[in-house]
């Protein structure tokens, strides 16, 4: 429960940063997908049911605030989560460098899902799609180490403090 609350608060912070109108690198409305970074981390750190639910909710919340096609980001985040869960059987993602490599692989999954959605279904210009996706991926990749450091600190703090804001204190020691 405590871990989910911290992930929720982190998601609210990332949503604020992602949708902030005065981002210095948010040129022409192209923003980093910080929720995608969180979805990749959830694939590593959460159990299957909790992580899948949180990834779905992240996609749904992003669709509400961005006006994207219904189900697009939920599909992307859940597909990424499932791919990561399959990779966890063979690899360990315990350092930021390994997580960054996983992010690159996950961006490929996201690219193909969005390619089918925009260029095949909606007949969007591939050249424009490639430019937008490349810039968004670069912005996401540049900001992701900071997000991962924040998430690793949150996990470390959760492991060090067993209770949430003083609940279930051992009052016999007082």
Tell me the residue range of the domain where 45 lies: 2-156
In-domain check, residue 120: yes
Spatial separation of the C-alpha atoms in residues 80 and 31, rounded to whole Å: 19
Spatial separation of the C-alpha atoms in residues 141 and 132, rounded to whole Å: 14
Check which CATH number belongs to the domain holding 40 and give it: 1.10.1760.20
Which tens digits make up the pLDDT trace of 80-112? 999 999 999 998 888 888 888 999 989 988 888
Which tokens hold the place of 31? Answer: 């923003």
Which tens digits make up the pLDDT trace of 128-151? 888 888 888 888 888 888 888 888
**The whole model's pTM is what?**
0.81
Q: How many structural domains compose the chain?
A: 1
In-domain check, residue 164: no
In-domain check, residue 168: no
Spatial separation of the C-alpha atoms in residues 122 and 152, rounded to whole Å: 39
CB 37 within 8 A of CB 143: yes
Q: Of 104, 73, 66, 112, give the one whose Cα is nearest residue 87.
A: 104
In-domain check, residue 169: no
């Amino acid at each position: 429960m405590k871990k989910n609350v911290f992930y929720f608060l982190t998601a609210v912070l990332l949503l604020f940063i992602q949708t902030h109108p005065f981002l210095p690198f948010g040129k022409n409305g192209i923003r980093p997908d910080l929720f995608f970074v969180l979805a990749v981390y959830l694939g590593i750190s959460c159990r299957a049911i909790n992580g899948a639910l949180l990834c779905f909710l992240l996609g749904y919340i992003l669709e509400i605030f961005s006006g994207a096609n219904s189900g697009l980001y939920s599909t992307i985040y859940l597909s990424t989560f499932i791919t990561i869960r399959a990779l966890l059987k063979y690899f360990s993602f315990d350092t930021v460098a390994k997580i960054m490599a996983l992010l690159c692989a996950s961006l490929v999954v996201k690219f193909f899902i969005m390619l089918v959605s925009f260029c095949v279904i909606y007949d969007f210009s591939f050249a424009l799609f490639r430019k937008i996706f490349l810039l968004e991926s670069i912005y996401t990749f540049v900001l992701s180490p900071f997000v991962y450091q924040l998430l690793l600190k949150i996990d470390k703090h959760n492991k060090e403090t067993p209770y949430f804001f003083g609940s279930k204190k051992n009052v016999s020691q007082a």
